[in-house]
Chains A and B, each alone.
Chain A
C-alpha cells in the first residue's frame, strides 16, 4: 500500500487470530486502536501509549510487540494473535489456567499483555529459570501483584 499519504485511508490485509481481515484504515493509525475500535478486540489494553507497560502486547508473526507503537500499515500480510486468540473455544491455555489458580491476575488490566508475554516466554524456553522469568516479563508492568504470583503462575504453567 502507499504509505506516503497519511491522510488517505487504504486497505491493509492481515490475519487476526486466524481470520483474514481487510482493514480500511489510515496507515499511521496505531494497531492498538484498530484492534480495539474497528475489530472490537478490547482485550488488548492501553496502559501508557509509549511502549513502556506492555498492556498492549500482541503477537505479530510469532513475535511479541507493543501494539501501541505499531502503525497499522506495518502489519500488511502479517499474522496477528491477540489475547482473544489464546484460549480455544473450550480450553484455556495452560498459562491462563495457571494465572487463575495462582492469583496472577488482580485488577486484570495488565493480564492480557502479561499472559501473552508468558506464552511467548514459554514458547521460546519451556522451563525458564527464575531470572529468565523475571527478565522475560520485565517489559510488562503490573502495579497490583508485586509480580510474585505472576512468577508462580509461569512456573505452574510449565508443570502443566
Chain B
C-alpha cells in the first residue's frame, strides 16, 4: 500500500475542523464543582496565617457575603489529616510540594485550593483568602544563584552538574593560533499552547482516583498521583483528553493540576474541574529555562577547531522538576555538529526563587546551540574566514567523534545540507547585494542581512534513558478485523495518531482505515513512555510496527492466515482467531539498537541512537529608526531519516520555526520580584500570521536503520536553529554583534546607539 511517505490526512482532522473534538474544558459531569488555586504573593517566605475573609460592606451594600461553609477547602494540612500519601510531585528529586506547607519558595506557589459549583462566586472567594507571610530574602537570577548571594536550595543552590571531558583542553591553549571567548544569554519563554492547562478529577476511597486532562505524559501523572494518594497503581486512572498543544509545557505540569483537582474531588466527594485562565497559566506554570553560556575556543590558522571549553548554566527556578534532564540535553548539544579533538563542557542547573522552569521543545538544546552558533560566527571572523568556510572545515563526518566521544556511524553530510540551504536561499548573491547596499554612500534606513546556523538534534531519550524506560506498545484486533494500537503516547497536534496508523498499515500491507489509535488511558494502554524528546515516531513508532507484526505472526502461527493475504482474508482471520481462542493481542517492548554504549558517570558514549541534522538560513531586515527586526525569508534544510508524512513533518518544522522566531524577536518575559509581570497575550507577544516570513522547508532523506521505515525524530529540531541564524543575519545587517535573546527593539537601540 505504501502509506509511509504520503501526505495522509490527519486521523482526527474532521473532528477538529468541525469543533467536535473534545478538550478537557469541553467535558462536564453531573454535580461537578469548579476548582481554583490560591497562590503565594511573595517570592520566598514563611506562611504565618491563612484567613478566609468577607468583602468589606460597601456603600451600596451590593457585594455578596462569601458563604465559606459551602466551599471545599484544601491546604497542605489536609494531605496529612486525610491520611493520604506524600505532599510532593513525584518526578526526579521530589522537592516540590503539591501545596506549600510552612514555606513558599516562589511567587504563585499553590497554597490553598477551593472548590464550589458557582465559578463566579469561586473567583470572588479566591480574592478573599488572605495569607500572611514572614518574608525571606530571595534571588532572581542565575548569576545571583551562582554567586550564592543567598542559599535558597540545598547547600549550594545547585540542582545538578555535568562534566563532559574529551581529551584535555588545558594542553591545547598554548598551541593555539587564536583563542576566542564569548558570553551568550537566553531568556525565559512561555510555551503558550492555546489551550491552557486543565484537569477534571473524580476521587474517593472506594474507586480511587480518575483524572481526565490535557497532557503529554499520562504515566507521569499516574506516577505522581500514586505517591500523592498513597494508593496502589490500579486505583489511579489517568485519561488524556484532546490536547490543545504542549511543547513541553504539558510534560510535568499536569501532575500538579491533576493532583490539585483530585485533592478537591477527594475531599468534596464530587467531580472537580480545574481550568486555568491565561493569566494563571502564564504566571504559575513552567517556562523555558533562561541560560548563560561561556565559550573559550582554540583554533589554528587554518581554521581548524583545536579545543572548546564551554560553561553552560541554566536557571531551574525554585524546584528541581526536570532541570537535570534539560541540562543534560543542553550539555550534550553544546558543541554542535563539529569535530573537535579536545572538549570540556561544564554545566550547572541552579535554583532561583522564580516559578520552576521546565520542559520546552528543544529541552536545553536551543539555549546551548544559540550560544555555539553565535560564537562560531565570531570565531570565523577572528580567523578571517567566512562563517560557512569555517564551519565546512570543522563539520563532523561519519567515523568521527562528538563531544561525548560518540562515534558517528551514520552517513552525515552537513556540507551537502549547507550547499542546498545556500542555493535555496540564494545566500551568496544576497550576502553580496546586502553588503553593497548597506555600505553605499546613502544606505537606506532598512538594513538587510542574511545568516545561518548549522546544528543537530538527538532523537529519543539521552544515553541510557530509553533502556530504563522499557517502553511497551500493544495492538489488539476486534472480531471485525479492525486494529487498535495501544500506546500512552499522546496526540498533541504533532500527528501521533496518523503516523502510527501509517506505520502499522504499511507493516501489514493493509488499509489505513483499519487502524485506530486508542485514547491514552492508563487503565487501557501500556506505558509507551512520555511524549517528549522527539521520541514518539522513532522509538514508539518502531514498537507500533513490531506490535502489529506480532498480530500477524500469531495469525500465521495459528494457521488461520496464509503468507499471502488480502485485506478481507486478514480481517476474517482475526474474527476466526477470536472466536476460537479469545483475545487477539500483541505487545512489543523496547530493545536498544546494537552497540549503544553510554557511561552515565563520565557522560561519555552514545548519547543518542540517532541525530537529525540541519542548516537553517534566515534573511532579515532591521529598521534603524524603530530598531525593529523582521525575518523576511526562512529556509530550513534538514535530514531527519525517512519522512513518514510530509505534510505533518513540514507542519512540525514550520511550527517550531515560528515558535523560535518568537523566542528570538518577540517573546520577552518581564520579571518583577520573581513574578512574570506581563502574563497576558496582550503584552507577551507571540508571532501572528502577519509576522511570520515564508518558511520554506526541505528534507533530505537518509533512512535510519533502527527507526520505523527509516524515520528519526523531528519535533524539537526546528527550535534549535532559528535564533542564532537570525542573530547572525542581524549582525550581517547592522555590523553589531548581539549575544542575547530575546532581542527586543529597546536592547537593539541601546547597543546600536551606544556604538554610533
Query: Which residue of A42, A52, A107 has the most chain B CB atoms within 10 A of its CB atom?
Result: A107
Contact with A along B181-203 (1 / 0, CB 8 A): 00000000001111110000000
Q: Is the CB of A102 within 8 A of B17?
A: no
Q: Is the CB of A103 within 8 A of B651?
A: yes
Q: Please, which residue of chain A has its CB at the minimum distance from the CB of B647?
A: A103
Say if the beta carbon of A67 comes within 8 Å of chain B.
Answer: no
Judge whether B47 is part of the interface by a CB distance below 8 angstroms: no
Tell me the residues in window 656-705 of chain B with beta carbons closer than 8 Å to chain A beta carbons. 656-659, 680-682, 686, 688-690, 692, 694-695
Partner of B681, one of A53, A133, A151: A53
The tally of CB-CB contacts under 8 A between chains A and B is: 170
B614 within 8 A of A: no
Interface pair B647/A48, CB less than 8 Å apart = no
B678 to chain A, nearest CB (A): 12
Measured CA separation A129–B172 after assembly (Å): 58
Nearest chain B CB to A62's CB is how many angstroms away? 19
Closest to A109 in B: B244
What A residues does B494 contact at CB under 8 A? 106
Which of B19, B20, B492, B658 is in CB contact (< 8 Å) with A82?
B19
The distance from the CB of A75 to the nearest CB of chain B, in whole angstroms, is 19
A107 and B195 within 8 A (CB): yes
B6-14, B465-473, B503-511: which one contacts chain A? B6-14
What are the residues of chain B within 8 A of A112 when measuring CB–CB?
17, 19
* A139 CA / B194 CA spacing, docked (Å): 14
Task: Decide yes or no whether A138 CB sits under 8 A from chain B.
Answer: yes
Asked if B493 is at the interface of the complex by the 8 Å CB criterion, the answer is yes
Q: Is A59 located at the chain interface by the 8 A CB criterion? A: no
Please name all residues of chain A whose beta carbon is closer than 8 Å to the beta carbon of B25 when the two chains form the complex: 36, 42, 46
Instruction: Assess the B688–A141 pair: CB atoms within 8 A.
Output: yes
Which of A42, A45, A50, A115 is close to B195, meaning CB atoms less than 8 Å apart? A45
Of all chain A residues, the one with the shortest Cβ separation from B247 is A143
Is A142 part of the binding interface, using a Cβ–Cβ cutoff of 8 Å? yes
Cβ of B379 under 8 Å from chain A:
no
B13 touches A146 (CB 8 A): no
Contact A110 B194 (CB under 8 A): yes
In the complex, are the beta carbons of B10 and A47 less than 8 A apart? no
Are B242 and A48 touching (Cβ within 8 A)?
no
Which residues on B sit within 8 Å (CB–CB) of A12?
none
Contacting pair A145 B655 (CB below 8 A): yes
C-alpha gap A110/B689 in the complex (Å): 13
Cα A81 to Cα B242 in complex, Å, equals: 24
Residue of A nearest to B683 (CB): A52
Q: Which of the residues A36, A45, A53, A145 comes within 8 Å of B654, measured between beta carbons?
A: A145
The answer to whether B51 has its CB under 8 Å from any CB of chain A is: no
Asked if B689 contacts A138 (CB within 8 A), the reply is yes
Contacts of B454 in A (CB 8 A): none
> When A100-B9, A106-B651, A109-B244 are in contact, do A52 and B681 touch as well, CB less than 8 Å?
yes
Which residues does chain B contribute within 8 Å of A143, judged by CB atoms? 191-194, 245, 247, 655, 659, 686
| B243 contacts A by Cβ under 8 Å | yes
Inter-subunit contact A105/B16 (CB<8 Å): yes
Closest beta carbon of chain A to B15's beta carbon, Å: 8
A20 to chain B, nearest CB (A): 21
- The answer on a CB contact under 8 Å between B655 and A100 is no
Please determine whether A50 and B692 come into contact, CB atoms closer than 8 angstroms: no
- Do B195 and A99 touch across chains, with their CB atoms under 8 A apart? no
A137 at the interface (CB under 8 A from B): yes
**Cβ-closest chain A residue relative to B22:** A42
Contacts of B277 in A (CB 8 A): 46, 49
Are B689 and A134 neighbours in the complex by a CB distance under 8 Å? yes
**Could you tell me if B244 and A84 are in contact, using CB atoms closer than 8 angstroms?**
no
- Please tell me if B49 contacts chain A, counting CB pairs below 8 Å: no
Establish whether residues B695 and A45, one from each chain, have CB atoms under 8 Å apart when the complex forms.
no
Contacting residues of chain A (15-45) with chain B, CB-CB under 8 angstroms:
36-37, 40-45
User: Is residue B62 within 8 Å, beta carbon to beta carbon, of the partner chain?
Assistant: yes
Q: Tell yes or no: B26 within 8 A of A by CB.
A: yes
User: B194 near A109 (CB under 8 angstroms)?
Assistant: yes
Contact A101 B9 (CB under 8 A): yes
Q: With A47-B194, A52-B681, A87-B18 given, is the CB distance from A146 to B655 under 8 Å? A: yes
Whether the pair A144, B651 counts as a contact (CB closer than 8 A) is yes
Q: Residues 12-53 of chain B: 1 if any A CB is under 8 Å from the residue's CB, otherwise 0?
A: 111111111111011010000000000000000000000000
Bound CA span A50–B684, Å: 13
Within 8 A of A (CB), among B220-250: 242-247
Which residues of A sit under 8 angstroms from B20, Cβ to Cβ?
Answer: 43
Please indicate the chain A residues that have their CB under 8 angstroms from the CB of B62 in the complex: 7
- Whole-angstrom distance between the alpha carbons of A88 and B651 in the complex? 28
Besides A138-B688, A142-B194, 20 new A-B residue pairs in contact (Cβ under 8 A), listed by A number? A41-B19, A44-B19, A45-B194, A46-B25, A47-B195, A86-B18, A101-B9, A102-B647, A103-B9, A105-B13, A106-B651, A108-B15, A110-B244, A135-B690, A141-B688, A144-B493, A146-B658, A148-B650, A148-B654, A149-B654
> Which A residues have a C-beta under 8 Å from some C-beta of B?
7, 36-37, 40-50, 52-53, 55, 82-84, 86-87, 92, 96, 99-112, 115, 133-135, 137-151
Interface pairs A-B: 3 shortest CB-CB? A43-B19, A107-B493, A109-B244
A-B contact pairs, 22 of them (CB 8 A): A42-B23, A42-B25, A43-B20, A50-B682, A55-B194, A83-B18, A86-B18, A103-B10, A106-B655, A108-B493, A110-B194, A138-B688, A141-B686, A143-B191, A143-B192, A143-B194, A143-B245, A146-B654, A146-B658, A147-B689, A148-B695, A149-B651
